[in-house]
Structure 1
Amino acid sequence: MGDGKWNFEILASETIPIDEQWFARLKCLDEQNAETFAKTNVYFGHYLGRHLASFIERNELRPHFVASHGQTIFHQPGKNFTAQIGDGETIASYLACPLVTNFRNKDVALGGQGAPLVPFGEKWLFPDEKLFLNLGGIANLSFGPLAFDVTVCNMGLNWLSNNLSPALPYDLGGQIARSGNIHPDLYEALEKLEYFRLPAPKSLGAEWFTTQVLPLIANAEIPLPDRLHTLVFHIISRITFDLRELGAQDVALLATGGGVHNTFLMEELEKSIAPRGISIKALPKSVIDYKEALIFAFLGLQTLLGRPNVFASVTGAKCDNVGGSIHLPPGGLSISLLD
C-alpha cells in the first residue's frame, strides 16, 4: 500500500486440477448424509493443506497469511445458508501463518446473498476501471455499486464437453461450439428461466445449474455441438442484456476467468457489445486467470486487519461487514500485516 492506494504483484501462481477421486466425491456430496459431509470437509482440508504446503515450499515463499475460499457445496441464501468445505483448522495445521476461510456466512446471516464478494477487491485493486466481467463457472458482472451473477458459464459449457465422445475437460477455444448451430427451442427455454426476471441483488449456485439449466441442456435432442453453440449465445445474450440494463456504455470491459480463453465466446461477445461502445480490455494472462484468487487474498487481508470487506450495496445485507474466519497455525505467531 502506497500513497493511499493498494498495489499488487502476482509472484507465483499455479492451477492444480482436482484429481478424479475428489471430483467424484465433491460432485455428489450434496446428496450424502451428515457424517459423510463432515468427514469430507475435514479430508478436503487435508487435501488443500498438503497442496498449499507444497506450493509454498516449491516457490520458496514466506506468506504472511493464506486465504482459502473452499469448495461451495450449497449456496442457498434464500434459505439463509451457504456452505463451502475445506476445514480451516485442518488446513491451518499445514501452515506457519494465519489462514482466513468462510467468507460468505456472515453476509448471509445479515440478510445478504453472500455474493458476489469480488467487487470489493475490484474497487481497491483496480481503481481506474469501472466495468468487470468474470467468466467462471458462473458469469457475473460488476459496474459501479452494482454487481450480480448473470447466468451459467463454464459450469454448463464444461458439462457438455465432458459428455462428448470422446469426453473433453472443456471446449478448447470454443472450436466445437463454433461448429454448431443455434437451436431456437433450447435458446428460448434458457432465456425464459425465472432467475432472469429477479432484481439485484441476486446470486447463483451449483444447485441452480443442476435443477434449472442441466435438464434443458442434457435432455435437448440435438447434437452436442449445437447445444454448446446455443449455450454460448445464451451467455452472450444475458451479458448484453444486463449491460444495457446497467446503463454501461462507452467504457472498457475487464473480462477475466477461464471463459476468456474460449475464443468463439469472446469474438461473439465483442460483436454483441460493440454497438454500446464497450470494448474488451487486454489483460495479462496472470490477471485473466488469477484475478479471483488475488482478490480473495485481498479479502483475507482485510479480515485480518478487522476491516469490512463485503459491500452491502452489492449483496443486499443489512450493512457492510467483515467476512471471514481466522485460523492460527499450530505454534501461533504475531506479525505485522502491512510490512
Structure 2
Amino acid sequence: MILTAIGLMSGTSLDGVDVAMIETDGKRVKAFGPSGYRPYSDVERRLLLQALTEAVHLEAREARPGILREAERVVTAAHAEAVASFKAQNRIASEDIDIVGFHGQTVLHRPADRLTVQIGDATALAKAIRIPVMHDFRAADVAAGGQGAPLVPVYHRALAQSLEREGPVVVLNIGGVSNITYIDGDTLIACDTGPGNALLDDFMHRTTGQRFDCEGRMAAQGTVDAAWIADALNDPFFMQPPPKSLDRNAFARRVLGNVAPADGAATLTAFTVAAIAKIVPRLPKRPRSWVVAGGGARNLTMMRMLRERLQPATVEAADALGWSADAIEAQAFGFLAARGLKGLPLSYPATTGVSFPMTGGIVARP
C-alpha cells in the first residue's frame, strides 16, 4: 500500500525546518512531492543555541528544565507553521496526508549513556495540523544499545537502488554533523564521520556575524592550518570503527586560536573533509562514487576539497542526480514514518550498532 507522507527535519545546523512530501510503500520511493522550508529567526536560533548549552546537564529524556520548555514550544510552533504554509502553498488538504514524520530538534545525543533528547511536542503538533504525527524515532534504538543515529541509511538505500551504477556508492550528508551511508549490493553500513557544518557555522557567526560561509567563499580565500587538523584528527572518535555517532557539539572544545576569518573557515572546512576521508580505510571496499547532500553540497570549496581527497572516486551533489540536496533528510523522515507505520526496521546492526533490526517511532493523533 502506497502512503503519502510529509517529513519534517530540523537538523543540527539550526537553520530552520525542512518539509518534504513523498509517496512510498516504506520500501521504495514511488514519487517525490513538493518541498518547503521555514527558517528560524535570529531570536529562535539564539534560543535553540541556549537550549543546547543547558541540555548538557540533562539526565532524563523527558525533562524540560529552564529554557528547554520554551525552546520546545518554539520548535513545535515553527513546525506547525511550516506544515500550514506548505499545505497552503501546494493546495494540500490534511486528509490527503497519511502520516507526518516529525524528528524534532536534537538538543543532546549521548548514546553511551542510552540518552538521546529531541524536543518538540508531537501531540500538540498533530492537533495543530490535524494529521497523525510519528515521532521519537531514535529512542527505541538507543534503549536497545544502539547509537540511535544515523537513521537515514534505509532511505539512502532506497534512493541508491534507482541508480544504475556499479558500487560501492556512498551517500554523504553534510549537515551540522557529517554522516555516510555505504551501499554495496546488500551491504549497508552507516556512521557519523565527524563535524559537518556546525564548527564552521559557529565560527563564521562568532567572527563575522554571518550564519554560514556562503558557497565556501570565505574558505576559498584562506590558508589551511594543517597542524591544527592533524592534532584534531587524533581524537579517539576517529579510531572507532562504524557504526558510531556524534553530538553536534562533540568537537566544540577544539577552538581555533586567534586566526583571520578566512584562515579559520578554510581550516574548519578542510577538517570536515579530512574527517570524512578518514572513514574510507574502515570501509569494506573503497567507494567508487560519492553523492553529497545537506548544506555542504552547496559549499563549493568543500566540494572541491572532497573531490581532491576522495579521488579517483567521483563526487557529485545530490541535485545532479535529480535528488534534493536540501530536502533529502525531510524526505527520509517521511519515508521512515511510512516504514514505522508498517513495522519495518529503521535501523540495523551495521547502521547504529543495535543488536538486531529495530523499528521505531510513536504515533500521536489529532
Q: TM-score range by the shorter chain?
A: 0.7 to 0.9
57-66 or 124-133, larger mean C-alpha shift: 124-133
Task: Say which of 14, 19, 22 aligns to 2:41.
Answer: 19
Q: Deviations over 1:145-164 (max 9, x none)?
A: 21111111111111121123
In the alignment, the residues of structure 2 paired with residue 241 and residue 67 of structure 1 have an alpha-carbon distance, to the nearest angstrom, of: 32
Report the equivalent of 1:259. Answer: 296
Q: For residues 174 and 248 of structure 1, do their structure 2 counterparts lie closer, same or farther at Cα, with a shift above 3 Å needed? A: farther
In the alignment, the residues of structure 1 paired with residue 150 and residue 91 of structure 2 have an alpha-carbon distance, to the nearest angstrom, of: 32
Amino acid at match of 1:141: I
In the alignment, the residues of structure 2 paired with residue 100 and residue 4 of structure 1 have an alpha-carbon distance, to the nearest angstrom, of: 14
Query: Which secondary structure does the structure 1 equivalent of 2:297 belong to?
Result: helix
Matched, 1:85 2:119: yes
Report the equivalent of 1:148. Answer: 191
In the alignment, the residues of structure 2 paired with residue 53 and residue 182 of structure 1 have an alpha-carbon distance, to the nearest angstrom, of: 44
Report the equivalent of 2:314. Answer: 279
Q: For residues 75 and 181 of structure 1, do their structure 2 counterparts lie closer, same or farther at Cα, with a shift above 3 Å needed? A: same
Report the equivalent of 1:132. Answer: 171
Root-mean-square deviation (Å): 2.2
Q: Which runs of 4+ in 1 moved over 6 A?
A: 2-5
Q: Deviations over 1:76-106 (max 9, x none)?
A: 0011110101110011111222111111000
In the alignment, the residues of structure 2 paired with residue 306 and residue 41 of structure 1 have an alpha-carbon distance, to the nearest angstrom, of: 28
Structure (1/2) with the larger strand percentage: 2
Q: Deviations over 1:163-220 (max 9, x none)?
A: 233x21211111111111112332223212221122222101123133x33xx23xx1
Report the equivalent of 2:108. Answer: 74
In the alignment, the residues of structure 2 paired with residue 99 and residue 4 of structure 1 have an alpha-carbon distance, to the nearest angstrom, of: 16
| Conserved? CA contact 1:76–1:205, under 8 Å | yes
Task: Say which of 228, 235, 239 aligns to 1:197.
Answer: 239
In the alignment, the residues of structure 1 paired with residue 192 and residue 245 of structure 2 have an alpha-carbon distance, to the nearest angstrom, of: 5
Task: Say which of 68, 72, 89 aligns to 1:37.
Answer: 68
Structure (1/2) with the larger helix percentage: 1
Report the equivalent of 2:81. Answer: 50
Q: For residues 4 and 97 of structure 1, do their structure 2 counterparts lie closer, same or farther at Cα, with a shift above 3 Å needed? A: closer
1:244, distance to aligned residue in structure 2 (A)? 3.0
1:319, distance to aligned residue in structure 2 (A)? 1.6
In the alignment, the residues of structure 2 paired with residue 99 and residue 3 of structure 1 have an alpha-carbon distance, to the nearest angstrom, of: 17
Task: Say which of 93, 100, 107 aligns to 2:134.
Answer: 100
In the alignment, the residues of structure 2 paired with residue 250 and residue 208 of structure 1 have an alpha-carbon distance, to the nearest angstrom, of: 27
TM-score normalised to structure 1 length? 0.88
Report the equivalent of 1:326. Answer: 363
Q: How many residues align?
A: 321
Structure 2 residues not aligned, in runs of 5+ = 3-23, 56-63, 164-168
Q: Deviations over 1:233-256 (max 9, x none)?
A: 222222222123314436221111
Report the equivalent of 1:110. Answer: 144
Percent identity for Structure 1 against Structure 2: 27
Report the equivalent of 2:271. Answer: 234
1:11, distance to aligned residue in structure 2 (A)? 2.2
| Conserved? CA contact 2:110–2:116, under 8 Å | yes
Alignment of 1:199-238 (within 5 A): 199-210=241-252, 212-213=253-254, 216-217=255-256, 220-238=257-275
Q: For residues 160 and 205 of structure 1, do their structure 2 counterparts lie closer, same or farther at Cα, with a shift above 3 Å needed? A: same
In the alignment, the residues of structure 1 paired with residue 218 and residue 36 of structure 2 have an alpha-carbon distance, to the nearest angstrom, of: 27
| Conserved? CA contact 1:117–1:311, under 8 Å | no
1:297, distance to aligned residue in structure 2 (A)? 0.6
Amino acid at match of 1:73: V
Q: For residues 100 and 312 of structure 1, do their structure 2 counterparts lie closer, same or farther at Cα, with a shift above 3 Å needed? A: same
TM-score normalised to structure 2 length? 0.82
Larger Rg: 1
In the alignment, the residues of structure 2 paired with residue 223 and residue 4 of structure 1 have an alpha-carbon distance, to the nearest angstrom, of: 48
In the alignment, the residues of structure 1 paired with residue 233 and residue 202 of structure 2 have an alpha-carbon distance, to the nearest angstrom, of: 19
